Structure 1
Amino acid sequence: MLSVSGIDLNVDVLTKEEAIDHLVELMDKSGKLSDRKLFKEKVLSRETQFTTGIGDGIAIPHAKTTAVKEAGLAAMVVKNGVDFDSLDGKPAYLFFMIAASENENNLHLDALARLSAMLMDEVFRKRLMQAETKMEFLTLIDEKESAIAKDKENSSSESYRVLAVTACPTGIAHTYMAAEELENRGKLLGIPVKAETQGADGAKNVLTAEEIAKADGIIIAADKNVDLSRFDGKPVIVTKVSDGIHKSEELINRIVNKEAKIYHNNQNENAKEESESLGHGIYKHLMNGVSHMLPFVIGGGILIALAFLFDDYTIDPSNFGKNTPVAAYLKTVGEFSFGMMLPILAGYIAMSIADRPGLAVGFIGGMVANAGVTFSNPAGGDVNAGFLGALFAGFVGGYIVLALKKACSKIPHSLEGIKPMLIYPVAGILLTAVVTTMINPFVGAINDSLNGALNGMESSSKILLGIVVAGMQSTDMGGPINKASYVFATSQLAEGNFEIMAAVMAGGMIPPLAIALCTTFFKNRFTEKERQSGMVNYLLGLSFISEGAIPFAASDPLRVIPACIIGSATAGGLSMLFGCTLRAPHGGIFVLPTMGNPLAYALAIVIGSFVGCFVLALLKKPKMSEEMQ
């Protein structure tokens, strides 16, 4: 994939975009591209998702697109280094660009895996940096690739003492870097290590049952969920993928020195990072339910909103939303989706707590809460347990299944099969339904009180509520406070309170928009790199993606966060003042036609954005000319 024409060893670039430009030029010279401009656009688009500056002075930008004729590599050395937004915050010196064709199945991922593995060797990186000719550079890569292949061949018959599974959210560079570091560190320590990678193109180097049985223990270096059931009875350490890279020796020694806890799948003793608190565990379970629930809420909410948009109110006001065939179909399908919201929430909370046996139990608990079942009326309809009831049902169901697992732990091994097929679903569903039915009247009373208070609010009180829930969107931009505000708003959709959702979405749109406006009208407050990033925030803000403001907030929290909170609170208060309503829990400006009082809502967004922009401009001092570069 790499040819002499695609290598440059003495490059002088000052910015990330210049570095990408030069790599694209090298790739084009190699004859790999059919459309140089489109390829560059795809590379830049990939960088907006997650930086390819993987740290340790390395960057591996890449793209898979129809603009590539055949897969290729380009490489360059920037001896003075360049800021590439690397994960470790340090300059990048060694660059490899990967171009993959749409016709080639995951070839770029294979190249990424090989490069990440080779570049974990610091001595090898230094030799590449010091290469005097392009042929020397190519020879070093050939020799390293051959050495790795030979090592794998020689170690294929080894009995591994330590096994590992590595995985990162994107499933690309860090997954393979952690695996390579663990295996290499094991060689240095004289301890054979095998690492399974769960990357973007599936699991590779998969651990066998025989290897698991013989191993001293297993290291799970992952930033996403990994199925641990196959490691039942083995010592297991669960940690972050970055620890697999930076703490490999410590992790291996903990396994060999028998310092890891035994994992028991039948008791659901999930291995966790030692630092995880009870509060964080509860939050993680809740977010697991919410993340699975949101597609149903968003899809159903937008379809219901479109039904009202396409309907004719004058035909039958009492049947508004279903007067025309198109509207009736959209509203019916939307209601099906919306109706799944609470069971899905409860089911996936319970599954997060108790693994797969908790899913059905939580799901039924959510349905019991959604129906408002009571002992006096098993058919339901007497109480409105709603969102809170389903939330309680999810946690109740999850912990009931955990209790059942513990109670059944002494059942003979020959009867293991009856637990997941009989005991957990029957006893779990029944007990969860009974407990949920018991709490439904109390939760219903809380819901009725809350709804009554919201509906009975005077205009001034609603404005204050809008200010608070919208301001919460900017406090941590995607964090717990932001999500608490959002979850509250989505819960009120099911209760028919549509004004709160409008205020919350307004609040979430403001941070990126305020920053984008400030980088446009007050350029002397920002560096060139920040001004370029600011332009992307227009689209993110209009799409209700508040996380676009996080890089700015992280670099200057004492100025950016207060400005965004003030702007968001302004927009939320105005949305309430204007009586704007929103039935769809997402979509940003793109669902404006489906809203109640859309023009006033757009005005609230504009005013809030400019308020945030001006406050930020007042708080930030102009930079010196050399700082703006």
Structure 2
Amino acid sequence: GSRGVENRLTDKEIAEADGVIIAADVQVDMPRFDGKHLIAKPVAAGIHKPEELIKEAISGNAPVYKAESGSEATESADGLSIGQQIYKHLMSGVSHMLPFVIGGGIAIAIAFMLDQILGVPQDQLAKLGSYNEIPALLKQIGDVAFGFMLPVFAGYIAYSISDRPGLVAGFVAGGVASVGGAGFLGALVGGFLAGYAVELIKVMLKKLPKTLDGIKVVLFYPVLSVLIVGLLMLLLNVPMSALNTWLNDFLNSLSGTNAVILGLLLGAMMAADLGGPINKAAYIFATGTLAASVATGGSAIMAATMAAGMVPPLATFVATLVFRNKFTAQERDAGLTNSILGASFITEGAIPFAAADPLRMIPSFIAGSAITGAIVMFLNIKVLAPHGGVFVIFLVSQPWFYLIAIVIGTIISAALIGVLRKKPTV
């Protein structure tokens, strides 16, 4: 998770294990499982088919994992479709990128807020955020942290594909995308390009003598990958930069009906799978717009996405209060917890409710979130922070209207839950 590895397996525990199950959507440290019967599956398989996976892992029929000699090994793709592998690589990049986006973005946002409080002359508004000394220092720190966003994103996509040999090539790809104006889309493509380029280099150098294994990892891989990926990214930057500019201009030009439709779509995506691939796609898209909009007061798309993501858990909180007889005591307790999770923009708090009754809960969530997203986009409400929920309300351009949009969506979702949900049978 974002906190790093908790309760890490010891060497003794791994040695005593009859088999290993990797149920993950991000890159896992694999060489420690060398020689063990191992199967790799998506997280969903671990949730829905645990008994089946355990039986397969300890049956003795699972493939034996072999770490590559002289380098870090990549995770076995057994059991993962191409789409699942791509999603895993993408999520690896996103999970490592988010702390830089959130930390840097909020530092920049605080700099803007402090500058407004301290006062900036009308003829110096172009320097808002860096006019006064203290805000200028905060903005400098935020800019540095924010500047790592694209290299880290591309670097850890490449790392997920080809492990440590891919890290330097990925960072270079993201850095070239950032400097060359290719932006978030360029870094995304560059990360995959770097990862698979390193995999190709590994294949090309596979027949080198064993005596060169050490120098292969510390010299051949980084030098060749940096040169090859760097040159390819310089070429790729031209079309990707044009595409990025067009996309930013298009998004900035959205107004009226078009903005409402985009808000409806983003809101629905945030509630469709509550932290799954669809939700993450909307959120990644929104964070990509934030980087280009900091200087203009923030991103309406980011604001719509965050507001819509707050609705499902808040709706379960309201529904468990208003329609108490339709929930068990345990669900009512979970609903109370969701008041904090929702206010913090942790959409995943609504997952237990959706899992228990998906046909009624998910459409209810989608309706409220979509309406909230549409209202925020229609009013062109902007936010400078990529996360934080109501706790970053001071970074929202129209805070009262923003809160009203969230409340409207929450009431709509809660009302639909009350109408559609049946009383518990127990």
**Which TM-score applies when normalising by structure 1?**
0.61
Change (3 A) 1:568 1:227: closer
Does residue 522 (structure 1) correspond to residue 323 (structure 2)? The answer is yes
SS in 2 for 1:238: strand
Amino acid at match of 1:263: K
Confirm whether residue 340 of structure 1 aligns to residue 143 of structure 2: no
* Secondary structure in 2 matching 1:473: helix
Query: What's the secondary structure of 2:271's corresponding residue?
Result: coil
Give 1:492's aligned residue.
289
Matched, 1:221 2:27: no
2:353 equivalent among 528, 546, 552: 552
Look up the SS of the partner of 2:60 in the other structure: helix
Q: Percent identity?
A: 43
Displacement of 1:264 in angstroms is 4.9
CA distance in 1: counterparts of 2:340 and 2:253, whole angstroms: 37
CA contact (8 A) 2:31 2:73 kept: no
The answer to whether 1:512 aligns with 2:320 is no
2:67 and 2:11 map into 1 onto residues whose CA distance is 25
Q: Contact 2:21–2:53 at 8 Å: present in 1 too?
A: no
CA deviation string 1:164-211 (max 9, x = no partner)? xxxx9763xxxxxxxxxxxxxxxxxxxxxxxxxx44xxx252678xx9
- Segments of 5+ residues of structure 2 without an aligned counterpart are none
Contact 1:477/1:547 (<8 A) preserved: yes
Aligned residues of 2:73 and 2:163 also touching (Cα < 8 A): no
Matched length? 408
Alignment of 1:216-615 (within 5 A): 219-223=19-23, 227-229=29-31, 234=35, 236-239=37-40, 250-254=56-60, 260-261=63-64, 263-266=66-69, 270-272=74-76, 274-312=78-116, 313-315=119-121, 316-372=124-180, 384-496=181-293, 498-615=299-416
Q: Deviation per CA, 1:1-20: give whole Å up to 9, x if none.
A: xxxxxxxxxxxxxxxxxxxx
Q: 1:357 to 1:218 in 2, by over 3 A?
A: farther
- Which secondary structure state, in structure 1, belongs to the residue aligned with residue 112 of structure 2? helix
Describe the shift of the 1:390–1:340 C-alpha distance in structure 2 as closer, same or farther (beyond 3 A).
Answer: same
Q: Aligned letter for 2:307?
A: A
Alignment deviations for residues 256-284 of structure 1 (CA, whole Å, 9 cap, x no partner) = xxx63562514877453632101100110
Q: Which SS does the other structure have where 1:417 is aligned? A: helix
Q: Which residue of 2 aligns with 1:157?
A: none
In the TM superposition, what is the alpha-carbon distance from 1:613 to its structure 2 partner? Answer: 1.1
- Cα pair 1:321 1:331 within 8 Å, conserved: yes
Report how far residue 533 of structure 1 moved.
1.3
- The alignment partner of 2:19 has SS state of strand
Report the AA paired with residue 213 of structure 2: E
Whole-Å separation in 1 of the counterparts to 2:141 and 2:202: 38
User: Aligned partner of 1:343: which letter?
Assistant: P
Amino acid at match of 1:314: V
Alignment partners' CA distance in 2, 1:596 and 1:470 = 19
What amino acid maps onto 1:371 in structure 2? V
Deviation at 1:218, TM superposition (A): 7.7
AA matched with 1:300: G
- Output the TM-score relative to the length of structure 2: 0.89
Partner SS state of residue 221, structure 1: strand
- Determine if contact 2:40/2:80 at 8 Å carries over to the other structure: no
Letter of the 1:440 counterpart: N
Q: Residue 21 of structure 2: SS of its match in structure 1?
A: strand
Deviation at 1:607, TM superposition (A): 1.2
* Bigger fraction of residues in strand: 1
Contact 1:462–1:576 under 8 Å retained in 2: yes
Extract unaligned runs of 5+ from structure 1: 1-48, 50-167, 172-197, 212-216, 373-383
CA contact (8 A) 1:518 1:616 kept: yes
**What letter corresponds to residue 19 of structure 2 in structure 1?**
I
- Residue 38 of structure 2 aligns to a residue whose secondary structure is strand
User: CA distance change for structure 1 residues 226 and 471 in 2, over 3 Å: closer, same or farther?
Assistant: closer
CA distance in 1, matches of 2:318, 2:59: 52
Q: 1:286 to 1:239 in 2, by over 3 A?
A: closer
Higher relative contact order (CA 8 A, sep 6+): 2
Deviates more, 1:322-331 or 1:583-592: 322-331
Distance 1:564 1:249 in 2: 37
Residues 599 and 280 of structure 1, relative CA distance in 2, 3 Å threshold = same
Mapped to 1, the partners of 2:30 and 2:281 lie a distance apart of: 30
* CA-CA distance at 1:437 after TM superposition: 1.0
Deviation for aligned residue 1:447:
1.2
RMSD: 2.7
SS at match of 2:418: helix
